[in-house]
Structures are given as structure tokens and as C-alpha cells.
């Protein structure tokens, strides 16, 4: 009651103040206006695809977008953008890679000798790498940073929620029956960390026949509308099963993909 939201002048020992105190500051040369986490309760639902598409959507709108690939052991963002060169440091600060459309990206694959090398690290080291990507990279006047988070509720997602000033999250899921349980885990973690849930995206929602235009629900009936209602998530979107999505990612050409199916979600992000 009566909270001024100015933790610096407050003597209370509340959970909000404790969470604020754990946020890691950027280096003096960096500026990031908004941080959006992209999460999922399980792997294989297309979280990295959605992350990349949202970054491209905001870049297409004229914003300076960036992607921090926090999926340390399963990085896929560089391949989606066709970026393979290793990043370099200048005056003890890491220079992120830049894509064709000017999106800055940082990922484990950009510091390995070979992108096929495994990252066999324990949890604390993974968490430390996430923090370093945030604090030791040159994020130069970024309007929207998208954080591709690993699936689940382990060390790395917890580090993102506690160390980065996350303005909201997008939950990515698929149409299977277990969607409610999986989304529920992501929702509860976000609520525990007091992070707003902006929207939910159901990937592989349907397949549209190129000949007749009829839509087929290959993986079963969609549950995204009911899940959004149950968890009071205001916005949702559906992505189809589209071979062109996979082809663009495989070729490193995601920036030339039609990202308009996520326009409604991008509108939400733009209004934060």
C-alpha cells in the first residue's frame, strides 16, 4: 500500500525490491529500451523461430532490434540469420554480430571454434554466460531486445528473469493436448517473477493446403484460445505449418520471410 515504486529511497524489504536489486546493469556504452523474453515450457515448439520473426518484424517497422540467444546449449539464432563469423572484442567489450537488416545478435555459436561443437557446461556457468551476454556486449541504442530463452524453468530462464529488466514475455506453444499444462508452468514462473505475459503464440497450428486452401489441424485441435482465456493472456496468434519457414531458417534467410502472421503480437510489443 502506498508504494512509490522508487526502490532506491525505500526502506522496506519486499520481494519487488529484492528482485530489482538483482538486475545486472548494462555497461556504460550500451542502451536497451525494452527487453522481451520468448519462452516455452518444453522444447521443439519453435521458440527460436518466433524470436527471430518478432525481431525481423520490429526491424521492418524501423526499430533497432537485437536478439540475445540465452539458449546457451542449443543455440540456433545465428543459423536462422545466416551469421557464422565469430564475434570480436574491442576495448574489453564484445561486439555483437549484425545481420543483413541490421539486427544485432549474440549467441554461444558466435564464440565457438565450430558451430557444431557441443556446449558441455554446468548450470552456474550457463547462467554466467547469459549475464555476460547482457553486461559485456555493446548493445548500442537498442529499441527492442528479444531474449530467446531455453525451454523449461531451470537456471538459464531464472537468470534472465532475475538479471535482465524484462518488460514482458511471449509464450510459444504447440497444439497438443498437454498445452494447458505446459503453458501453465510458463505462466506460473512469470507470475512468480512478476513479469507481464504479453501474448501466446501457437506454432504448427494448422496446415493450409496450397491447392484448395483448406486448413488441416495436423497435430490436433487448437487449444490456444482456451489457454489464453484460462490464463488471462490478452493476445494470441497462430502460425501455420509452412515448409517455407523451415527453408528460410535452413538457408539463413529468415529476414526475408513473411513475418506478418505475428503482426498482432508485434503491435502489442510496440505499445509497451
pLDDT, residue 16, reads 46
Say if residue 176's pLDDT is above 80.
Answer: no
Predicted confidence band at 13 (pLDDT cuts at 50, 70, 90)? Answer: low
Say if residue 12's pLDDT is above 70.
Answer: no
Say if residue 6's pLDDT is above 50.
Answer: no
Say if residue 74's pLDDT is above 50.
Answer: yes
Predicted confidence band at 14 (pLDDT cuts at 50, 70, 90)? Answer: low
183 against 253, higher pLDDT = 253
Say if residue 227's pLDDT is above 50.
Answer: yes
Say if residue 20's pLDDT is above 60.
Answer: no
Say if residue 223's pLDDT is above 80.
Answer: yes
Averaged pLDDT of the chain: 88
This prediction's pTM: 0.89
Predicted confidence band at 184 (pLDDT cuts at 50, 70, 90)? Answer: confident
pLDDT, residue 112, reads 86
Q: Which tens digits make up the pLDDT trace of 139-161?
A: 999 999 999 998 777 777 888 99
Q: What is the SS3 assignment for the chain?
A: CCCCCCHHHCCCCCHHHHHHHCCCCCCCCCCEEEEEEEECCCCCCCHHHHHHHHHHHHHHCCCCEEEEECCCCCCCHHHHHCCCCCCEEECCEEECEECCCCCEEECHHHCCCCCCCCCCCCHHHHHHHHHHHHHCECCCCEEEEEEECCCCCCHHHHHHHHHCCCCEEEEEECCCCCHHHHHHHHHHHHHHCCCCEEEEEECCCCEECCCCCCEECCCCCCCHHHHHHHCCCCEEEECCCCHHHHHHHHHCCHHHCCCHHHHHHHHHHHCC
pLDDT, residue 157, reads 86
Predicted confidence band at 5 (pLDDT cuts at 50, 70, 90)? Answer: very low
Q: Which tens digits make up the pLDDT trace of 81-138?
A: 999 989 988 888 999 999 999 999 999 999 988 777 888 888 888 889 999 999 999 9
Q: Stretch 56-79: mean pLDDT, rounded?
A: 95
Say if residue 25's pLDDT is above 60.
Answer: yes
Amino acid at each position: 500500500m502506498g508504494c512509490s515504486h522508487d526502490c532506491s529511497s525505500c526502506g522496506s524489504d519486499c520481494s519487488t525490491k529484492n528482485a530489482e536489486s538483482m538486475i545486472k546493469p548494462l555497461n556504460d556504452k550500451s542502451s536497451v529500451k525494452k527487453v522481451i523474453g520468448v519462452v516455452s515450457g518444453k522444447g521443439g515448439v519453435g521458440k527460436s523461430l518466433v524470436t527471430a520473426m518478432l525481431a525481423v518484424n520490429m526491424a521492418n517497422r524501423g526499430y533497432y532490434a537485437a536478439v540475445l540467444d540465452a539458449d546457451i546449449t542449443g543455440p540456433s539464432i545465428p543459423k536462422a540469420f545466416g551469421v557464422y563469423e565469430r564475434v570480436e572484442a574491442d576495448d574489453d567489450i564484445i561486439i555483437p554480430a549484425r545481420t543483413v537488416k541490421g539486427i544485432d545478435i549474440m549467441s554461444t555459436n558466435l564464440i565457438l571454434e565450430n558451430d557444431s561443437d557441443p556446449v558441455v557446461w554446468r548450470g552456474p556457468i550457463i547462467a554466467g554466460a547469459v549475464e555476460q551476454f547482457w553486461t559485456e556486449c555493446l548493445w548500442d541504442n537498442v529499441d527492442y531486445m528479444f531474449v530467446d530463452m531455453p525451454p523449461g524453468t531451470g537456471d538459464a530462464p531464472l537468470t534472465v528473469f532475475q538479471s535482465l529488466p524484462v518488460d514482458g514475455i511471449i509464450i510459444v506453444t504447440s497444439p497438443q493436448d498437454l498445452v494447458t499444462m505446459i503453458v501453465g508452468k510458463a505462466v506460473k514462473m512469470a507470475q512468480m517473477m512478476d513479469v507481464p505475459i504479453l501474448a501466446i503464440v501457437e506454432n504448427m497450428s494448422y496446415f493450409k493446403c496450397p491447392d484448395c486452401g483448406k486448413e488441416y489441424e495436423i497435430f490436433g485441435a487448437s487449444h490456444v484460445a482456451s489457454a489464453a482465456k484460462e490464463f488471462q493472456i490478452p493476445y494470441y496468434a497462430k502460425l501455420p505449418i509452412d515448409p517455407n519457414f523451415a527453408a528460410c531458417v535452413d538457408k539463413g534467410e529468415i529476414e526475408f520471410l513473411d513475418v506478418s502472421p505475428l503482426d498482432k503480437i508485434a503491435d502489442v510489443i510496440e505499445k509497451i
